[in-house]
Chains A and B, each alone.
Chain A
């Protein structure tokens, strides 16, 4: 796509939505608003949203690897005026590993205008400032400038294995970050609420503990919960 694609979204009286689009040489805001106003007068539906986007191809390396590895970084984001911590910016880096992903934090562009989705400044992540944390070794504490939530290579398997650790992690983070981490973990499960997964995992773990302690544990329940869990994550 060598041009910018402008889309204007409409909604009619029935609630049905539709959009129309135009191609633009640049995302000229004045031209965009003039186009939208002209459309507003030509349609009896209501305009609800406008967006503009462009794809830039990038000449990159040949891909190697298919292990679905993913590195998850969480930067803290702060109020640009007061400096208080308000948000977190999680970033998933496909096909990456912990050592490589750490390099990203030291990249100068990270400090140049990158913000969280809500528009808060990503605090300047300076290379070597603060030790990145991983579930593979220890949990982050409030003194860290940024957090590494998890490194995934055999992703689904280890996500399940570490689900309880995620829960612990989200409780150790400041509220704003914890909420964001929970939301993103939930998204990772493609809409399945994380608490459901965690509840089932907790029950399974309890049952396994019972199995270990007493021989007459109910293995039907255990099997049923495992099947539910597999179904929940779309396996």
Chain B
């Protein structure tokens, strides 16, 4: 059981013509290069594509993926609609990270997640202390505190959320 890296970084270029219609094309760069080198190559090819197309190159997406070669198997009764919802603070802004099919053992009877559990402490450490500066909100501000952690469902409206959201 391991996450196997795809052999390439995929670079997807987005074009737009004068009517607003969009199209994409893809190029691939091998794994193993530093990300800054990948970005440099992607940018250089963007310039080349811009030169050979009369559409506008609006940008490019660099992506990389890993596939589980032997998934462990989902537990009986697991449902991804049942989320462990965690809200993190980045300065005063909030950023949400859901845990699909949260392990029932870490959900307390009132709906809050047990944040003193070993599993949750490990998760919190990854986001806040083990890799300082790596995990951010969408603006790029580092996560710095936990604001809430509770069980929620895909269809749960704010009024139906647990009363206690932080154990």
Contact = CB atoms under 8 A, between A and B. Distances in A.
Interface stretch (A33-41, A201-209, A223-231): A33-41
Interface residues of B, number: 89
Contacts of B135: 22-25, 31, 35
Contact of A44 (B50, B54, B103): B103
Interface in B12-70: 15-19, 21, 23, 25-31, 33, 35, 37, 39, 41-46, 48-68
Interface in A49-99: 49-58, 60-66, 68, 70-71, 89, 91-96
Contact of B78 (A13, A28, A31, A113): A13
A169 interface: no
A134 to B, nearest CB: 15
Contacts, number: 277
Nearest to A72: B25
B71 interface: yes
A210 interface: no
29 contacts: A1-B138, A3-B139, A13-B75, A13-B77, A13-B79, A21-B97, A22-B135, A23-B138, A25-B142, A31-B135, A45-B80, A46-B71, A47-B71, A48-B67, A53-B61, A56-B39, A56-B42, A58-B46, A58-B50, A58-B58, A58-B59, A65-B17, A89-B28, A100-B52, A101-B52, A114-B29, A117-B10, A119-B30, A119-B31
Shortest Cβ-Cβ A-B pairs, 9 listed: A119-B7, A53-B63, A18-B80, A95-B55, A45-B101, A51-B65, A44-B75, A94-B23, A100-B52
